[in-house]
Structure 1
Amino acid sequence: MVVLTGVVNPQAYATGDDREKRSAEVLQKLVPSPDGPGCAAAVGTRGNVVWEAGRGKADVATGRAITSKTVFDMASNSKQFTADAILLLAGQHRLALNDPLSEYLDNAPGWTRRVTLADLMHHTSGIPDYGDLLEAKGVKMTDPAGQQDAMTAILASQPDQAPGQRFSYSNSNYVLLAHVVEKVTGKPFATFIQQEFFTPLNLRMTVSPAAEVPGKALSYDEKGGSSTPNSSPWKQYGDGAVQTTPGELVRWADNYRTGRIGGSHLLDGVTRGAVSTGDTLRRRGIENGRYGAGIVLLPDKSLVHRGDWEGFHSTFKVSPDRNTAVTVVCNSDSPDSFRAAQQLLDIWTK
């Protein structure tokens, strides 16, 4: 297993297996210069990390390098844990996917009676994105805004379309699902996810919207040839906020094969009722997909999701047979990261 920054394991040559060398070349092409922000990547097979490396700087000012141990904000790749929490509670008969949202709200607006938990999970609620709602109220990305600010803005709005009609990606859906988890369990969302997913699977992950996470990379905007730190004091969760390394995320991916957490009910629920995304995710590199439980099912039966928050950009993909997973995450805009993830998956599955 490669754990050094962009270095290939020499033993690969002795065995005639060049997958590590080819993987390192993919990362080097993705991050041509090691002196600015960069990326980390990992490949997992049946729950074991078989290759991982980093290239570039986690902190440009101090020169701290990105390694396989560098923590990143996984952004919307966090949504799968929120959706799986709902599936887990449904399997325990503590809620049902066809329950109206209104059942889990105090002083619920009338429109919430027509939106189901399944609508939220599959992005068919028609609810506008809370980011747009907050900005319309004059709240900038540089202003403090927490979970309750997002909830207040969402519940004061109206769906843009009739619920259940068509896919329209909105982070509001997953902020609301996190609220449902807290309402049903009586626990903070982060605590429930830790107890039910991270701890049983021995995953070094945390749900934290705060920037002060040990070992975390800083995120950057790269404009005019310079790298400018890019962070926001917004602190929402459910739609994002899982902090971890690429290696830990590919270890988690094995649950899609084993069903160790949630069993067959969760595994079936991941893709049951998945809805066509049409062309709406094309700009993220995802076409002809069907959105399931916080993850997209592609025609070849692989699973994929993208995450973008601040300067963090992550791609997570699981092979059709669920044996192999890849994560690529960068701390600045990297338009080829999605392609790099597919290249790595091809290297380790073909």
Structure 2
Amino acid sequence: MRCVIDVIRATLVAAFCAGCSNAQPADPQASDPQTSDVRASHAGRIVERIDTALAENDIPGAIVLLDIAGERVSIARGLADRETGLAMETTFLLRAASIGKLHTAAVVHQLILNGDLSLDMSLVDLVAPHFLEGVANADQATIRQLLNHTSGIPDYYDDSWFAQVNAVEGNTADRALAHIRGAPADFPPGTQHAYSNTNYQYLALAAEAVTGQTLDSLYHQFVFTPLGLVATGYNIQFDPRDRIHGYGSVLDPEQDVYELLENNGPDGGIFTTADELADFLAAVFAEDGRLQAIGASMMSDLYDRGEGRYRALGPTYVEHPLGFTAVTHGGSIAGYGTIAIRLLSQDATIIVHVNRDRPDIAGQLARQILLEALTGSAD
């Protein structure tokens, strides 16, 4: 779809710069009044779409990044902090929540490529016995089943878990696994699919066991340092760049949840900027990406969930009816919702982050903006 990319470059990229904090150079065709009119019109529709979604869903602010064929624009709208009136900025850290599972998966796949792990290794041969005791299916699950959520190990993250989330205790393997000891398995390993945060707690334990290193060290060794991700970090809550306050919880729809230690651990502890998240996705899933071998390993096995949706060994893989193929992952915690989509059929990435627990709205915005960019219609 080269022609689509050319049209986007000519009519969309500069248009996005209305309201952008990191404006791109003007396109040479900007001197054409008709082209300028198209850009201005499109920019207005995009910003209006974001602002309408914020207003209709009582969301204080949003960050949107669109990268097509290496042309990247970012928009920040609304507020990062209602109390102080701090405006949202595109350089603020995102509490990426479950999108961080892709970073954990990248570490695991690098260890697979290194020969330290294999997809069919069992947890029982990797993890200390006390981590497995009382956890259904933990003594049978394989690395493959943990990565694609077919282990049947129950998810520790439920309403009763959230009731324990506080501003003092972090999300550790000991706490998470203690919460589900004695709970029944969801199904026999490998027979069905059910998303479970517990799987990534175990993947981290396996990675640490075979390397003798902490997960934080492995992130830096395999991902952060090779890609030059200087803003991205693990469990760096309250970093000076972590300035986005999230709003709403199951206990109080208006609660400022910034202080809660919820966004941490191997299943959701990555903090990153929209720019660096886009860099990571391109490095892993672009054909010429620096970590392309990791991306190929992630895509080497697809669990068919029906209707064009598959669980790869990390992300969700989607075959859209319009012919697009993409990998995607969402992140949802109290007060924050994020979606990241990387098209495989085209060189394009979109990231949407909102500071309310509305991943549905983040996803809706991402799909509308991306489809309009690629097809001219958000439907």
Work out whether the TM-score is over 0.5: yes
Q: Deviations over 1:78-120 (max 9, x none)?
A: 1111112111111111110100011121124494332101100
In the alignment, structure 2 segments of 5+ residues that lack a partner are 1-13
Aligned partners of 1:127 and 1:151: how far apart in 2? 10
**Is the radius of gyration larger for structure 1 or structure 2?**
2
User: Aligned in 2, Cα 1:267/1:72: closer, same or farther, shift over 3 Å?
Assistant: closer
Choose from 345, 358, 364 the match for 1:339.
Answer: 364
- CA offset at residue 14 of structure 1? 4.1
Partner of 1:26 in structure 2?
Answer: 49
2:157 equivalent to 1:135: no
SS at match of 1:317: strand
Choose from 96, 111, 119 the match for 1:97.
Answer: 119
User: Which stretch of the first structure deviates more once superposed, 49-58 or 10-19?
Assistant: 10-19
- CA offset at residue 292 of structure 1? 0.9
More contact order relative to length (CA 8 Å, sep ≥ 6): 1
Letter in 2 for 1:26: R
Partner of 2:328 in structure 1?
Answer: 304
Instruction: Tell me if structure 1 keeps the 8 A contact 2:208–2:214.
Output: yes
- CA offset at residue 318 of structure 1? 1.3
Partner of 1:50 in structure 2?
Answer: 72
Partner of 1:188 in structure 2?
Answer: 214
User: Aligned in 2, Cα 1:152/1:119: closer, same or farther, shift over 3 Å?
Assistant: same
SS at match of 1:197: helix
Partner of 1:84 in structure 2?
Answer: 106
Letter in 2 for 1:122: N
Partner of 1:228 in structure 2?
Answer: 255
Q: Deviations over 1:178-215 (max 9, x none)?
A: 11121122221122112211221122443433531222
Letter in 1 for 2:281: A
Choose from 313, 333, 337 the match for 2:337.
Answer: 313
In the alignment, structure 1 segments of 5+ residues that lack a partner are 279-286
User: Which stretch of the first structure deviates more once superposed, 153-162 or 292-301?
Assistant: 153-162
CA-based RMSD of the aligned residues comes to 3.2
Instruction: Tell me if structure 1 keeps the 8 A contact 2:18–2:43.
Output: no
- CA offset at residue 3 of structure 1? 6.9
Aligned partners of 2:249 and 2:163: how far apart in 1? 24
Aligned partners of 2:231 and 2:198: how far apart in 1? 23
Partner of 2:296 in structure 1?
Answer: 268
Aligned partners of 2:203 and 2:102: how far apart in 1? 11
Letter in 2 for 1:229: D
Partner of 1:116 in structure 2?
Answer: 142
Letter in 1 for 2:282: D
Choose from 173, 177, 181 the match for 2:203.
Answer: 177
Partner of 2:171 in structure 1?
Answer: 146
Name the % identity: 23
Q: Deviations over 1:135-193 (max 9, x none)?
A: 37x96223734312114445665522101011001100111111112112222112211
SS at match of 2:255: strand
User: Which stretch of the first structure deviates more once superposed, 164-173 or 142-151?
Assistant: 142-151
Aligned partners of 1:192 and 1:45: how far apart in 2? 30
Q: What number of residue pairs does the alignment pair up?
A: 338
Aligned partners of 1:263 and 1:172: how far apart in 2? 27
Q: Deviations over 1:266-322 (max 9, x none)?
A: 2322222221345xxxxxxxx641111221111232112111012110011112325
Aligned partners of 1:329 and 1:341: how far apart in 2? 9
User: Aligned in 2, Cα 1:244/1:319: closer, same or farther, shift over 3 Å?
Assistant: same
Aligned partners of 1:9 and 1:271: how far apart in 2? 33
User: Aligned in 2, Cα 1:103/1:95: closer, same or farther, shift over 3 Å?
Assistant: same
User: Aligned in 2, Cα 1:77/1:146: closer, same or farther, shift over 3 Å?
Assistant: closer
2:194 equivalent to 1:168: yes
Choose from 350, 354, 371 the match for 1:330.
Answer: 354
Instruction: Tell me if structure 2 keeps the 8 A contact 1:203–1:248.
Output: yes
Letter in 2 for 1:25: E
Q: Deviations over 1:18-77 (max 9, x none)?
A: 2544433332232239x962110101234x452101111111111111111121101111
Instruction: Tell me if structure 2 keeps the 8 A contact 1:121–1:294.
Output: yes
Aligned partners of 1:294 and 1:237: how far apart in 2? 16
- CA offset at residue 248 of structure 1? 1.9
Give the alignment's TM-score, normalised by structure 2: 0.79
